[in-house]
Structure 1
Amino acid sequence: MNRFPKTSAVMALLVVIAAGLLSVFDADDHDSVKVSSQLDTQIDNASERDTFEYFISGLVDNDTDTIEQRFEHYSQQRDGSEQLEPELFEKYMRYKAALATLKRNGGEATDFQGLHQQILLMQSEFFTADEQERLFGEENLLRELALTKKAIKESAQTPEEYQQRWENELSQLPPELQNSFRNATVLTALNDTNAMDTQSQYIAREALVGSEAAERLMTLDQKRADFDQQFDSYLVARADILNNASFNDAEKVQAINDLREPLFDKNQWRRIEALERIHDGQGE
């Protein structure tokens, strides 16, 4: 009787099991670099800057040094050619802090050209020309185009002239940047619909993205509103528990868990706990 087929089957099974174990270890390694509010999310590695932003979002739960350590650990897990630069990430964090100060000091200023130049100058203070292009090339170009669009709109004599000049400007861009700018314009317009009543909002969204996407956006809005309402009610009940002098600390923890369990799925608990910390921090 030929025993090799059985051996092959066993080897194949071992390979599958090993692959599964490796995937678990990989997931655990990646979880080890996330803060608590990120544990149910995927690390955004679409681009170098997207990964930077993902880790910076963890500042809600941790200090700068911890975030830098987690980022460096994540980079070391990647293949040699895909490893990121901790020094560049550290510069990016300092740049973001400086940029936030610049925008706060700018207040309600309408000198967008001046602000654009200040941002470019700040980038050059933190980054080399190559780094600046890698991280901000498309963003800077889109901002320049927004200024050009504003200038065309102010100088055009008719809507037709404006449209023609603007399309001529866009046609000089590579196709992917044309799409990026048009998408950015749509996103801005969608954001502007948030202040509208429901009917006007739907009509405006339908004109921008079509009826199917408008329906999906309305569904997402409703889900978000339902969650916000449920979470607000939960916070009120949680506050009553925390303020109940007849409970000791262990009883309060148990009562809050009992309150949370029927309201939120287990896979939402880390998010709920992170939102609790944000809420509690705002009340201090």
Structure 2
Amino acid sequence: MKKAALIFVSLMTSVGLGAVLFFSYQQQASAPAALSQADVQVDTATTKHFFDFSLSSLGEQDLDEIKQRISQRPSSDVSLNDEEALFSAYLQYKQALVELEPLQTNQLSALDLEQLHLRILDLQFEYFTVEQIELLFTEENQLRQLAIEKLNIENSNLDPQQKRDLLEEQLSAMPKYIQTAENNHQLVKDLSSLSALDGQQKHIAAVELVGEAGAERLEVLDQQRASFQANMDSYLQHRDELLTSDSLSAQDKQIQITRLREETFDAAQLRRVEALERIHDQSH
């Protein structure tokens, strides 16, 4: 896949991956044909969601089988008239998107994103009517435009509060689920920044962000993380001592490490501990 397509995909996530979690999905009861989708309900939230969901089985099914599935589904959008023809145009558009000339830059500026945005809009108008563009691409076009506005705001000379006010103004024109996702994304960033604070300062800042009850829950989580990390550090030290012991056979080492692991951690933590062991071993 060319760089432009990769840029396009990454751009869709630049307003926060949480966006999809706040979209109200409707799902179709019939079972999909692809084996990998056997335990997944068909995503029919929008026509575009259904197209992309159907294309995700490409490889298990050939394109003709996918087209047949598309043609057999009763369209929920009366204005489409011929969903099969729309899907054919969508495939051509996706191919044209991949073939866009890549931007000659490794770090995208707001101007770069704006140019890419306009090129993508040009492609949409080449393959679809205004009504079809509104039906298929309203959501992603809004997300892309928001990403551009965020970069413009971030690179401005405004102070932090002015930047936040301007971003809120931009968000006010977006659907509620995008507003919620972006606010949650910003909250996560703000909470992450609290790690640089200590004691009372950290508590006061947390209260401002999530309230007194939320701040208390965060403190409990911090204590749990600190306790787990202390246990992990102690466990890895003892484990290293066992692994380097000359008086134990390989089998005895594994027996004692297993016993030590189970004595130190709760059963629910064991898989996480084993994963951290592998990371520890790879770094030593």
TM-score normalised per structure 1: 0.52
Report deviation, 1:203: 1.0
**Does structure 2 conserve the Cα–Cα contact (< 8 Å) formed by 1:193 and 1:201?**
yes
Distance 1:116 1:234, change over 3 A: farther
Q: In structure 2, the residue corresponding to 1:154 is in which secondary structure?
A: coil
- Alignment correspondent of 2:180: 179
Q: In structure 2, the residue corresponding to 1:244 is in which secondary structure?
A: coil
Distance 1:252 1:163, change over 3 A: closer
- Alignment correspondent of 2:209: 208
**Does structure 2 conserve the Cα–Cα contact (< 8 Å) formed by 1:238 and 1:256?**
yes
- Choose which of 78, 88, 93 in structure 1 pairs with 2:40: 78
The residue correspondences of 1:25-104 to structure 2 (distance < 5 A) are 75-79=37-41, 85-87=56-58
**Shift >4 Å, 4+ stretches:** 79-84, 114-121, 132-139, 162-167
Report deviation, 1:75: 3.1
* CA deviation profile, 1:176-221 (whole Å, cap 9, x unmatched): 2223222222222222111111221111111111111111111111
The residue correspondences of 1:1-284 to structure 2 (distance < 5 A) are 75-79=37-41, 85-87=56-58, 112-113=109-110, 116=113, 140-150=144-154, 154=157, 166-283=167-284
Structure 2, gaps ≥5 residues long: 1-18, 22-33, 45-52, 60-104, 122-127
Distance 1:262 1:136, change over 3 A: farther
**Does structure 1 conserve the Cα–Cα contact (< 8 Å) formed by 2:36 and 2:57?**
no
Q: In structure 1, the residue corresponding to 2:251 is in which secondary structure?
A: helix
Q: In structure 2, the residue corresponding to 1:257 is in which secondary structure?
A: helix
What one-letter code is carried by the residue in structure 2 that aligns with 1:154? Answer: N
Report deviation, 1:279: 1.3
Structure 1, gaps ≥5 residues long: 1-45, 49-71, 89-104
- Alignment correspondent of 2:84: none
Number of positions where the alignment pairs a residue of Structure 1 with one of Structure 2: 187
**Does structure 1 conserve the Cα–Cα contact (< 8 Å) formed by 2:109 and 2:151?**
yes
What one-letter code is carried by the residue in structure 2 that aligns with 1:77? Answer: D
**Does structure 2 conserve the Cα–Cα contact (< 8 Å) formed by 1:142 and 1:181?**
no
What one-letter code is carried by the residue in structure 2 that aligns with 1:227? Answer: F
Report deviation, 1:138: 6.8
What one-letter code is carried by the residue in structure 2 that aligns with 1:213? Answer: G
Distance 1:271 1:163, change over 3 A: closer
Report deviation, 1:267: 2.4
* CA deviation profile, 1:99-127 (whole Å, cap 9, x unmatched): xxxxxx96xx7x64267569979x99xxx
RMSD: 4.2
Report deviation, 1:171: 2.5
Quick one: percent identity of the two aligned structures? 30
TM-score normalised per structure 2: 0.52
What one-letter code is carried by the residue in structure 2 that aligns with 1:198? Answer: G
Q: In structure 1, the residue corresponding to 2:264 is in which secondary structure?
A: coil
Q: In structure 2, the residue corresponding to 1:147 is in which secondary structure?
A: helix
Report deviation, 1:146: 1.6
Distance 1:73 1:114, change over 3 A: farther
Distance 1:118 1:166, change over 3 A: closer
Distance 1:238 1:176, change over 3 A: same
Report deviation, 1:223: 0.5
Q: In structure 2, the residue corresponding to 1:173 is in which secondary structure?
A: coil
**In 2, Cα distance between the equivalents of 1:163 and 1:257?**
51
Distance 1:164 1:211, change over 3 A: closer
**In 1, Cα distance between the equivalents of 2:140 and 2:247?**
56
Distance 1:139 1:238, change over 3 A: farther
Report deviation, 1:257: 1.2
Distance 1:116 1:231, change over 3 A: farther
